[in-house]
């Protein structure tokens, strides 16, 4: 098990095949994927296949990666946090994303995981700029970005497409290397 970083309540680590049931528990919920580009999973095999792909990507993608958020108190995967894009120009720009099991929302876990990801990116000198976007209707996601210390940069009109193939306005937030607290 490769731990990427830890926070007070969380372990953020690479995915393992044994995580498929916990992963399926939240990716099978329509509200979780409502604002994302995949349909809710219908079978455990879909979760197994996705985890296998994420594990394989650790070997081929030096920066982009999806990690499991594990709640220490329960030793349970409750969500994911990812570096989902990397632009090496300008000393590196990364895009991040996250998902959380709705049973664990409202407790600050995603904000804690995202702030930890910022520190991981800074400590490993991965990028000088971190970006995150969300569907403007997904207010909870935007609140995470604000609480994590990101700065609102603007709205990109009809720049996103969700799993229903609907176009939506995208809010863009960022944080710079020098703004990340150690």
Q: Where are the domains of the chain?
A: 3-179
- Percentage of the chain beyond pLDDT 90 is 80
**Matching CATH number, 3-179, of 3.40.720.10, 3.40.1360.10, 3.30.300.30, 3.40.630.30:** 3.40.630.30
Q: Please write down the HEC assignment for all residues of 19-84.
A: HHHHHHHHHCCHHHHCCCCCCCCCCHHHHHHHHHHHHHHHHHCCCCEEEEEEECCCCEEEEEEEEE
Chain centroid to CA 68: 9
**pLDDT recorded at residue 71:** 98
Q: What angle do CA 133, 138, 139 make, to 5 degrees?
A: 95
Looking at the whole model, is its pTM more than 0.85?
A: yes
**pLDDT recorded at residue 90:** 67
**pLDDT recorded at residue 68:** 98
**pLDDT recorded at residue 110:** 97
Which residues of the chain have a pLDDT value below 70? 90, 163, 165
Each residue's pLDDT tens digit, 63-104: 899 999 999 999 999 999 999 999 877 678 999 999 999 999
Q: Please write down the HEC assignment for all residues of 77-106.
A: EEEEEEEEEEECCCCCEEEEEEEECHHHCC
Q: What is the CA radius of gyration of the chain?
A: 16
């Amino acid at each position: 098990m490769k731990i990427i970083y830890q926070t007070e309540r969380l372990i953020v680590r690479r995915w393992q095949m044994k995580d498929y049931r916990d992963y399926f528990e939240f990716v099978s919920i329509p509200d979780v994927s409502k604002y994302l580009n995949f349909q809710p999973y219908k079978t455990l095999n879909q979760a197994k296949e996705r985890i296998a792909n994420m594990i394989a990507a650790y070997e081929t993608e030096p920066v982009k990666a999806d990690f499991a958020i594990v709640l220490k108190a329960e030793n349970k995967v409750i969500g994911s946090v990812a570096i989902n894009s990397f632009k090496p120009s300008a000393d590196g720009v990364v895009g991040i994303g996250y998902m959380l099991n709705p049973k664990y929302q409202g407790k600050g876990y995603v904000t804690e995981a995202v702030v930890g990801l910022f520190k991981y990116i800074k400590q490993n000198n991965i990028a000088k700029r971190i970006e995150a976007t969300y569907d403007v209707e997904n207010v909870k996601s935007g609140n995470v970005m604000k609480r994590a210390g990101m700065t609102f940069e603007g709205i990109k009109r009809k720049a996103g497409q969700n799993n229903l193939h609907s176009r939506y306005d995208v809010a863009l937030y960022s944080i710079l290397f020098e703004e990340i607290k150690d």
